[in-house]
Amino acid sequence: MALSLPDGLRRSVALADYTTWKVGGPATYFAEPESTEELLALLHWAKGIGCSQRVIGAGSNLLISDQGLEGLTLCTRHIQGAELETSSGLVEAQAGEPIPTLARRAARAGLSGLEWAVGIPGTVGGAAVMNAGAQGGCTAEILESVTVVNPQEPSQTHTIPGAALDFAYRHSRLQEEPLVVLSARLRLSPGHDPKTVSQRTSANLHSRTSSQPYQQPSCGSVFRNPEPQKAGQLIEALGLKGLSIGGAQVSPIHANFIVNTGAASAGDIDRLIAQVQERVMEHHSIALHTEVKRLGPFEDIALAA
């Protein structure tokens, strides 16, 4: 007897359509819930049949294997919404709320603290997991708490204070535990002139778009900066801008971006990442670690995940 699928659940969906790199094979099962309730119901279904599950947001920090992903893949980008308290600066945001949208909305409300986030093509949930940051700001500075669920206990949600998330550079404990972010509480600084905050926000966006390859599919910065040095500068110093494997290319605009020039595979990108890591290790004796997260099976070629 054929397996009965919940409403909205689809089989064999190409995940390239759900990542900013535009690569990735099919998901065995795929759904885009439009509410937390739908998400929890799908997690219940997956648990009931013993199906593995994973959650993606805007797909802006993922490299998904050309072989795709087994089990259930849930995309939260339609679980949107945010409530802003202009007097206190508290913001309650759903996991799929786009960070740029929230940054602009906060600026118009005279809330400061998200100006740095306007150029990040991700979601609130993803920002919490990755401790996303830019322009000198990061999620850890403004995140008060997250509401999460363990897919193995989908009937119970939990709230974790930001102070308990072990935040570090592009890291949180949410990367190590099987928890799904449902929403986040942020605290911004209230009482600012909306025009001034909006101008800072727009200036940050212009700075990013004028110095980074926003016209081509990418994941944003590929490598973490090995402080105090910058990954892009190390790569550029080796003359690697423009280096290509298949359809993947180290951007001629910014060396810490790898772009899909039109026909890249996930394998092309993975091999190019490894080649850059090898060259930087050989010439600088520095191991570059990736910001991007790999999902699915890859060849064991990368020096540092």
Q: Which residues are catalytic?
A: 170, 221, 291
Put the strands of the sheet holding 10-14 in their side by side order. 10-14, 26-31, 69-75, 53-56
96/115 Cα distance (integer angstroms): 19
What's the residue count for the chain?
A: 305
Interaxial angle between packed helices 99-108 and 194-211, expressed in degrees from 0 to 180 and rounded to the nearest 10: 150
Helix, strand, or coil here: 188? coil
Q: What angle do CA 109, 80, 162 make, to 5 degrees?
A: 75
Six-digit token string for 223: 């490598």
CA dihedral 166, 169, 170, 174 (to 10 degrees): -10
